[in-house]
Amino acid sequence: MTLYIYSILVHKGRGVQVMGNAGNKEEVQQSDGDLRAAIQQGLLGQLREQQNDGPYFLNLVDDYMAFWDIKSGLIQDVQKRGVMVKWKNGEKQSGHKKNDSISELIRVNTQMMKILQQLNIKAAMLHEDPVDDY
């Protein structure tokens, strides 16, 4: 799968539609579908516990999950292309520049944190059975 410089990221179903600089479209499927579902169910469960499961809050969870999909695509791009990417502007002009996905990843994470604050949701603790080492 080849990912190009992102000009538009659109949430679409269970993936992210990526439009590259040449208008190419690819569907980035969520390999973490189980994790995505667990996160969404965890958020919805916390809203129900707080009795804040009205349409406004449910829409914010949808927004959060859309950002989660975008974040996954950005992480895949950084893993595939690295932190520096080659650019070419004509036959004689080329070089390296920072991968724009890194700065976009920071922005997306910031928005995700703001949504969690708006929902008054804290990170869910994983409950593990204690294991005796004796």
Each residue's pLDDT tens digit, 87-128: 888 888 989 999 999 999 999 999 999 999 999 987 664 444
pTM assigned to the model: 0.66
What is the b/e burial string over 40-70, where b = at least 16 CB atoms within 10 angstroms of the residue's CB?
A: eeebeebbeeeeeeeeebeebbeebbbbbbb
pLDDT bin (cut points 50, 70, 90) of residue 134 is low
